[in-house]
């Protein structure tokens, strides 16, 4: 989704802005631009990638104060006119904005009546005109007044030629300040500034910051507030490819480390999650899990884990649909899963739950993200920065958090529980074995890449894994893919089965095994080639499927981890075979900050 950057200091702003924008590319965008102030305001923008903008910029753009933006179109198509920064009538003000302004039509009509001229279809353009209207010598004040007129969400960075400061403000859209020595930065996300500083201020809703090279002053409702810089532990290398061809492949390969780090961190935590007593409420307790996309698939796996281990009712719902469902206040606990902590639908769901008196645990990967500020409790996953749009290691880290929330107090035989905890510790090695053998998975992927439609089927814990396998494949390879509960194929999708539609079947040696074998035979009888994921040593499935991929033996409870890693690699290599832009798939954004 849109990305904001800003710089003020002693260095030339142009190369810094372009570098910071390039670091935000992973969020997804369709156009970009920069504005640099220094003896006049210079604005350059277009519906192009950052590299193309860099190449088309005039040689002389000088100034030590600037802002930049990557835009993901909401109001108005991707075009030069709609790209940010946007300006006012005087040509002195530049604004970049993330979010949505609900009342922009009324504001625009009013401003037009007052003589302002607009040049884009965006909602953003009302902001510089409002600032122009209110400016009376104090830029911070004018921005505060302008934002006061706005209904909706925003993260904004503002500059005005001749005023040696940057203004940053946020409401329901992420914005951070990178604190340097004699220079400061603004960005939507930490990776953008890691080349320059690891000290970061997380702005909060309704904060307005006046930033100079020497300092940062934050105000809220006109009153000064203290916002301390945090030391970020991610390194630049964490946010770079480290020799891999794509971020996605690097992130898939980081999963053994992620699992290890997660277990270590949860083991050494002062307070264990089981101390929270979330799943010890017996029959009266019920749990609602909410999330979007891949995080929703983790929530669905969580539902199976928690219902299995605690025998309590657990519902998993799409956060984007939650607003249309009935009262939630009867629930005793909600868990919202969001890698970024910025997904608009997830944030809206948390606010509703809180307003209805339901305590919310947020599982997220991003320290200081919006979701962490509105949650009752936060469980951090230890995935490190995930750059590729396709979620991989963050999903595995979410599963680890769910296992760890459940296992210590699981209502199961003690010996079984200890055995499961032991197995959990062996998972990194088992995932590593899958990665060591990725060449074989790449060969299967090359076959899949030839088709235009693929089905993924599973049962029980592996039904959500089938959904995730299909999501991964469709989002990065653009092959149409459907995930199904294996028992549902005969209720409609059978009509689509043929030699042109292969089926990937997830077979686990648990209560679902026999039914999965039957489903594979049904699929074969209708002409679809079947690739089955089976536990190593299984030689029964190979007799009915066309080909098998062996996965290391794990307790079925952990089969979602190993099976998903295989499906991630399958999707990755299929997309690579088709020459797709794996890390930045078309039309998608890493962090979806609009409803
Ligand atoms: C999956 O690969 C996607 N990146 C997407 O489905 C993602 O999981 C979804 O947008 C939710 O994001 P979140 O976890 O940051 O809330």
d(CA 176, CA 169): 10
Pick the atom of ligand 1 nearest to 591's CA: 15
Q: How confident is the model over 548-558, as a mean pLDDT? A: 97
Distance CA 424, CA 260 (A): 9
Phi, psi of 177 (to 5 degrees): -115, 125
Q: How far does residue 8's CA lie from ligand 1's centre (Å)?
A: 33
Do strands 184-187 and 176-179 pair parallel, antiparallel, or not at all (unpaired)? Answer: antiparallel
Please work out whether the CB of residue 365 comes within 6 Å of at least one atom of ligand 1. Answer: no
Pick from 92-106, 265-279, 474-488: least confident: 265-279
CA 390 to ligand 1 center in whole angstroms:
7
Residue 343 to residue 369: CA distance in whole angstroms: 10
- pLDDT-based confidence at residue 149 (cuts at 50, 70, 90): very high
For the record, the structure tokens of 154 come out as 């925003």
Who contacts 170 (Cβ-Cβ below 8 Å, separation ≥6)?
154, 155, 156, 203, 204, 205, 206, 207
Distance 469 CA to ligand 1 centre (A): 14
Residue with the nearest Cα to atom 2 of ligand 1?
390
Residue 526 has pLDDT above 80, yes or no: yes
- Residue 89 makes CB contacts below 8 A (sequence gap 6+) with 115, 116, 117, 129, 132
- In angstroms, the Cα distances linking 593 to 3, 185, 370 are 11, 21, 11
Q: Which pLDDT band holds residue 142 (cuts at 50, 70, 90)?
A: very high
Confidence bin at 326 (pLDDT 50/70/90) = confident
Whether the CB-CB separation of 457 and 489 falls below 8 Å is answered with yes
Residue 172: both structure tokens together: 């329901």
| Percent with pLDDT over 90 in the chain | 70
Section 32-53 average pLDDT: 93
Marked catalytic residue, from 2, 32, 358, 580: 2
Counting ligand 1 atoms within 8 A of each CB, the residue from 343, 383, 390 with the most, and so the one to mutate, is 343
2 is catalytic: yes
**What are the tens digits of pLDDT across the range 65-75?**
999 999 877 77
Higher pLDDT, 266 or 378: 378
Whether 282 shows a pLDDT value over 60: the answer reads no
- Catalytic annotation on 590? yes
Q: Tell me 493's DSSP state.
A: G
Average pLDDT, stretch 241-264? 89
User: Which of 290, 335, 339, 475 has most ligand 1 atoms within 8 Å of its beta carbon, as the pocket-test mutant?
Assistant: 339
CB 298 near ligand 1, within 6 Å: no
Of the candidate ranges 24-38, 154-168, 192-206, 269-283, the one whose mean pLDDT is the lowest: 269-283
Nearest C-alpha neighbor of 96 from the set 183, 7, 204, 19: 7
Q: Average pLDDT for residues 471-498, to the nearest whole number?
A: 95
Judge if the beta carbon of residue 592 lies within 6 A of ligand 1: yes
**Number of neighbours of residue 452 by Cβ within 10 angstroms:** 10
> For residue 283, what pLDDT band results from cuts at 50, 70 and 90?
very low
Question: What pLDDT sits at residue 275?
Answer: 65
- Name which of 268-277, 317-326, 495-504, 532-541 the model is least confident about: 268-277
Contact 433, 565 (CB under 8 A): no
Are the C-beta atoms of residues 44 and 53 closer than 8 Å to each other? Answer: yes
Task: Tell me the mean pLDDT in the region 240-269.
Answer: 85
> In the numeric block, which tokens belong to residue 373?
């500020």
Q: Across residues 108-118, what is the average pLDDT?
A: 95
Residue 271 main-chain phi, psi, to 5 deg: -120, 125
**Ligand 1, atom nearest to 340 Cα:** 15
- Cα(124)–Cα(208) distance, integer angstroms: 17
Whether the predicted pLDDT of 350 surpasses 50: yes
| pLDDT higher than threshold 90 for residue 593 | no
Cα–Cα dist 175/172, whole Å: 9
CA of 391 to the centre of ligand 1 (A): 6
Question: Which residues lie below 8 Å from residue 538, measured CB to CB, with a gap of 6+?
Answer: 507, 509, 548, 550
Q: Under 8 Å CB-to-CB from 283, ≥6 apart: which residues?
A: 312
Residue 269 reports pLDDT greater than 70:
no
Residue 370 Cβ contacting ligand 1 at under 6 Å: no
Length of the chain: 595
* Amino acid 323: pLDDT: 85
Average pLDDT in the 99-121 region? 92
- The values of phi and psi at residue 112, to 5°, are -60, -45
């Amino acid at each position: 989704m849109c990305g904001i950057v800003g710089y003020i200091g002693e260095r030339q702003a142009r190369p810094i802005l372009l570098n910071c924008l390039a670091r935000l590319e992973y969020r997804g965008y369709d156009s970009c631009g920069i504005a640099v102030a220094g003896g006049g305001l210079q604005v350059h923008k277009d519906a192009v990638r950052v590299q193309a903008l860099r190449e088309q910029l005039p040689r002389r753009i000088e100034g030590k104060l600037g802002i930049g933006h990557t835009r993901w179109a909401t109001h108005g198509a991707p075009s030069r006119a709609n790209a940010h920064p946007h300006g006012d009538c005087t040509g002195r003000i530049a604004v970049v904005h993330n979010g949505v302004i609900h009342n922009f039509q009324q504001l625009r009509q009013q401003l037009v009546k007052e003589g302002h001229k607009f040049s884009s279809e965006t909602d953003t353009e009302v902001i510089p005109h409002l600032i122009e209207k209110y400016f009376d010598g104090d830029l911070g004040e004018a921005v505060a007044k302008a934002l006061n007129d706005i209904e909706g969400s925003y993260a904004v960075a503002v500059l005005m030629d001749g005023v040696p400061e940057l203004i940053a403000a946020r409401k329901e859209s992420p914005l951070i300040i990178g604190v340097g020595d004699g220079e400061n930065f603004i960005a939507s996300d930490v990776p953008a500034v890691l080349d320059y500083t690891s000290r970061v201020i997380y702005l909060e809703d309704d904060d307005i910051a006046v930033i100079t090279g020497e300092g940062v002053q934050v105000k809220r409702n006109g009153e000064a507030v203290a916002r301390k810089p945090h030391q970020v532990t991610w390194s630049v290398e964490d946010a770079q490819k480290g020799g891999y061809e794509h971020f996605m492949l690097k992130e898939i390969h980081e999963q053994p480390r992620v699992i290890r780090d997660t277990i270590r961190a949860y083991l050494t935590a002062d307070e264990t999650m089981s101390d929270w007593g979330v799943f010890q409420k017996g029959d009266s307790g019920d749990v609602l899990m909410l999330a979007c996309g891949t995080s929703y698939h983790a929530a669905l796996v969580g539902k199976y884990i928690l219902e299995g281990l605690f025998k309590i009712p657990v519902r998993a719902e799409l956060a984007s649909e939650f607003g249309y469902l009935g009262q939630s206040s009867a629930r005793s606990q909600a868990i919202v899963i969001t890698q970024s902590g910025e997904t608009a639908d997830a944030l809206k769901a948390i606010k509703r739950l809180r307003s209805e008196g339901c305590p919310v645990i947020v599982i997220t990967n991003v320290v200081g993200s919006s979701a962490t500020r509105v949650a009752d409790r936060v469980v951090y996953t230890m995935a490190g920065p995930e750059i590729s749009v396709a979620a991989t290691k963050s999903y595995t880290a979410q599963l680890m958090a769910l296992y760890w929330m459940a296992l210590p107090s699981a209502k199961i035989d003690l010996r079984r529980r200890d055995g499961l905890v032991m197995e959990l510790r062996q998972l990194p090695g088992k995932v590593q074995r899958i990665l060591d053998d990725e060449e074989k998975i790449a060969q299967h992927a090359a076959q899949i890449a030839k088709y235009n439609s693929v089905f993924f089927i599973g049962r029980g814990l592996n039904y959500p894994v089938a959904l995730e396998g299909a999501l991964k494949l469709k989002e990065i390879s653009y092959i149409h893919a459907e995930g199904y509960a294996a028992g549902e194929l005969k209720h409609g999708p059978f009509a689509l089965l043929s030699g042109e539609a292969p089926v990937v079947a997830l077979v686990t040696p648990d209560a679902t095994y026999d039914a999965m074998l039957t489903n594979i035979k049904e699929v074969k009888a209708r002409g679809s080639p079947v690739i089955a994921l089976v536990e190593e040593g299984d030689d029964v499935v190979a007799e009915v499927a066309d080909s098998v991929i062996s996965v290391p033996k794990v307790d079925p409870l952990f089969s979602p981890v190993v099976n998903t890693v295989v499906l991630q690699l399958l999707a990755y290599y299929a997309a690579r075979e088709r020459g797709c832009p794996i890390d930045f798939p078309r039309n998608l954004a890493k962090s979806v900050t609009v409803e």
